[in-house]
Amino acid sequence: MSIENISSAKSFGGWHKQYSHKSSTLGCDMRFAIYLPPQAGNGTTVPVMYWLSGLTCTDENFMQKAGAHRIAAELGIAIVAPDTSPRGDHVPDDENEAYDFGKGAGFYVNATQEPWRQNYRMYDYIISELPALIAEHFPVNENTVISGHSMGGHGALMMALRNPGRFRSVTAFSPISNPVNVPWGQKAFENYLGSKQADWAAYDSSMLMSTAQPTAFTPALVDQGDADGFLKDQLKPETLEQAAKNSGYPLTLRMQEGYDHSYYFIASFIEDHMRFHATHLGLTA
């Protein structure tokens, strides 16, 4: 699997780099960003945090706005930030170019419906193709964690819940916690997965968490701003909190006073999330 470097910049002693590659899973050219801390290389491998971004985002939003490089460099954690959907002129898009569906809004599912099923397979891309590519080309080890924001918070939680033991920990900012019951999720799931709501449950974090067994528990931290304009109608963290109570899931959910849905919020608490992951990676006590 070949990759092409398209940008490089030194940051806190490490390197932020962007690459493109041909994705066999998505049937298009894809771009991802990676931050390699100064500890990586010369025979030393480092763990990886996968970051899944939200609606309208690309690989650039988190890397440029979150301020995560400094703490990643201190802890010795690589960060991989993929794009949020397939791209290209031949990839189908919402006919009205809506921001909440189509390009920029892959929702981290494997689409089963036409015309989406050929390209919109972000679940397989994140779980299988991209990690194999990263392992082949970069000095990383098998220890991984996953995080995300909004649509990406949904993706991070859902992937950790569906793949017990795959990730040492999971964190999310403002996740779409119960997509089967909110407009963003309903629109995406009906188009990508069809009208049978029973098929949607496999991608709903609250439903998955509510029935999770102790052998499938992955330590989770979620931060949600109480001034988030999407809180009531789209995010519904209370469903996730109730799901954790139902199953005894190890979830810490923090409501943060005055914070909204923006990257100011993420930048304010990303260090907490990185240190949470470092603890579960065995990097810190």
Check: CB of residue 72 under 8 Å from CB of residue 49. yes
| Predicted confidence band of residue 68 (pLDDT cuts 50, 70, 90) | very high
**Cα 71 from chain centroid (whole Å):** 19
Total Cβ atoms within 10 A of residue 73? 18
Q: How many residues appear in the chain?
A: 285
> What value, to the nearest 5°, has the Cα angle with vertex 174 and ends 172 and 177?
85
3-class SS of residue 85: coil
Closest CA to 164 of 108, 205, 222, 215: 215
**Chain segment 78-120, per-residue pLDDT in tens:** 999 999 999 999 999 999 889 999 999 999 999 999 999 999 9
Question: How far are the Cα atoms of 32, 106, 177, 187 from residue 103, in angstroms, in the given order?
Answer: 15, 7, 21, 14
Total Cβ atoms within 10 A of residue 88? 13
Confirm whether 261 is a catalytic residue.
yes
Phi/psi class of residue 108: alpha, beta or left (left: φ > 0; alpha: ψ in -120 to 50)?
left
* Pairing assessment for the beta strands 251-256 and 170-173 based on DSSP bridges: unpaired
Confirm whether 277 is a catalytic residue.
no
| Predicted confidence band of residue 240 (pLDDT cuts 50, 70, 90) | very high
- Which residue in 23, 59, 228, 277 is the catalytic one? 228
Cα atoms in the 13 Å half-sphere on the side-chain side of 155: 31
- Which residue in 261, 273, 277, 280 is the catalytic one? 261
Q: What is the per-residue pLDDT for 1?
A: 80
Q: Residue 141 pairs with which residues in a beta bridge?
A: none
- Sequence-distant contacts of 133-139: CB under 8 A, at least 24 apart: 133/1, 133/3, 133/21, 134/34, 134/48, 134/80, 136/1, 137/1, 137/3, 138/34, 138/36, 138/40, 138/78, 139/36, 139/40, 139/41, 139/44, 139/45, 139/46
Q: What is the per-residue pLDDT for 139?
A: 98
Q: What is the per-residue pLDDT for 284?
A: 86
Q: Does the structure show a pLDDT above 80 at 285?
A: no
Which pTM value belongs to this model?
0.97
Beta strand extents in the chain (DSSP E only): 4-11, 14-23, 28-36, 46-52, 78-82, 140-149, 170-173, 220-225, 251-256
**Chain segment 258-280, per-residue pLDDT in tens:** 999 999 999 999 999 999 999 99
Q: What is the per-residue pLDDT for 41?
A: 86
Q: What is the per-residue pLDDT for 216?
A: 83
**Chain segment 157-198, per-residue pLDDT in tens:** 999 999 999 999 999 999 999 999 999 999 999 999 999 999
- Which residue in 150, 174, 177, 205 is the catalytic one? 150
Confirm whether 199 is a catalytic residue.
no
Percent above pLDDT 90 for the chain: 96
The end-to-end CA distance of the chain, in Å, is 37
Q: Does the structure show a pLDDT above 80 at 225?
A: yes
